[in-house]
Amino acid sequence: MTEAHDVPELEVADSGEEQTRCGYVAIVGRPNVGKSTLMNRILGQKLSITSRRPQTTRHQILGIKTEAGVQTLYVDTPGLHKDDKKAINRYMNRAAATAVQDVDAVVFIVDRDRWTDEDEMVLRKVRRSHCPVVLAVNKVDRIQDKEVLMTTLQTLNEKYDFAAIVPLSAINGKNVDELEEVLNGYMPKGIHFFPEDQITDRSSRFMAAELVREKIMRQLGDELPYQMTVEIEEFKYEDRGDKPPLLHVSALILVERSGQKRIVIGDKGARMKVIGRDARTDMENMFDCKVMLNLWVKVKSGWSDDDRALRSLGYDLE
């Protein structure tokens, strides 16, 4: 079910050729509602890292989908949250808030019938976007009673004049095509900004760091605070003649205290081995080559609350 205003259709030129369209869509919401899962589902492959922990996404991640003359540039964002005591939290909130500026549409994603104060905060932000806002109600596959779903959608509809409300499930793809159809209709006419086969503007080094960080977050659960990041020190392809190239990656895992370093390494290095194995497997799938991955852990006190340190580690909206 989708409730929507009239969505513009793709225009056809006098010659009979379809006009190309290209535009930006910001995906916003509070932490852990499925923003990254939704973008990965739309793209048909993994781009944004995911875990069950809130605030897994820390940067704006651009995902590019080109299909049937429409190039839609999805901007995945960190979850907007109230806790902004540290510099890294303020950075994540800025990254999410600025994403709704100068886009052609916004997807505001919420978790079925769980409306919170942070959802209300996100709504205040998107009210200022001056573009169509589509509400994506995620995880509706977990609602068995259809009357409950209808009541939920009606309640959400009263909160704002949304361009459309799309109930969906990002994890299994239910109604995601319907969401894309709505969004594509809001993309303006124009040339495509990227080649048809490109899916992001992020570098391979950045993606490698994100994959390592994802494995750490999945392994450690609630054991490790957010004061952890990953920096790529080496990213180099080795020419092996007739054999496929070998990619050498050296990643530095930064934590803030020595106790956190012991947690990441694990008993006799067991946890680091699992993190390295899982990250290497994903890198080989992403980069389509063999990968030699080396990991180190280093204590760098206070990095998460130091603006200069954050910029040096790539936390820079510029």
- Integer angstrom CA distances of residue 73 from 15, 88, 128, 179, 265: 27, 25, 20, 14, 38
List the beta strands (DSSP E) in 33-180: 61-67, 70-76, 105-111, 133-138, 164-167
First to last CA, the chain: 39
Phi, psi angles (nearest 5°) of residue 200: -160, 165
233: number of Cβ within 10 Å: 11
pTM: 0.87
**Given this model, what pLDDT does residue 130 score?**
87
Q: How far is CA 47 from CA 13, 65, 200, 224, in A?
A: 34, 12, 8, 24
Decide if 42 contacts 176 (C-beta within 8 A). yes
Residue range(s) of every CATH 3.30.300.20 domain in the chain: 204-312
Q: Are strands 228-240 and 243-255 parallel, antiparallel or unpaired?
A: antiparallel
The domain covering 204-312 belongs, at the CATH homologous superfamily level, to K homology (KH) domain (3.30.300.20)
pLDDT digit of tens for each residue in the chain (318 aa)?
455 444 445 454 444 456 899 999 999 999 889 999 999 999 999 999 888 777 788 888 999 999 989 999 999 998 888 777 788 888 888 888 888 888 999 999 999 878 999 999 999 999 988 899 999 999 999 888 888 889 989 999 999 999 999 999 999 999 999 999 999 999 999 999 999 999 999 999 999 999 999 999 898 877 665 678 999 999 999 998 888 899 999 999 999 999 999 999 999 999 999 999 999 999 999 999 999 999 999 999 999 899 998 888 888 876
What pLDDT, on the 0 to 100 scale, is given for residue 226?
64
Q: What pLDDT, on a 0 to 100 scale, did the predictor assign at position 144? A: 82
Helix (H), strand (E), coil (C) string for 157-182: HCCCCCCEEEECECCCCECHHHHHHH
Other residues' Cβ atoms within 10 Å of the Cβ of residue 301 = 14
What pLDDT score was predicted for residue 263? 92
| Nearest Cα to Cα of residue 46 among 31, 66, 61, 58 | 61
Q: Are 108 and 79 in contact (CB under 8 A)?
A: no
pLDDT given for residue 9 in this prediction: 52
Q: How far apart are the C-alpha atoms of 123 and 94, rounded to whole Å?
A: 15
pLDDT at 53: 77
Quickly name the fold that domain 3-184 has.
Rossmann fold (3.40.50)
- List every span in the chain annotated with CATH 3.40.50.300: 3-184
pLDDT per position as a tens digit, 193-213: 999 999 999 999 999 999 999
**pLDDT, tens only, 37-71:** 999 999 999 999 888 777 788 888 999 999 989 99
Residues 6+ apart with CB under 8 A from 270: none
DSSP 8-state assignment for residue 140: G
Predicted pLDDT of residue 16: 43
Q: What is the pLDDT of residue 14?
A: 45
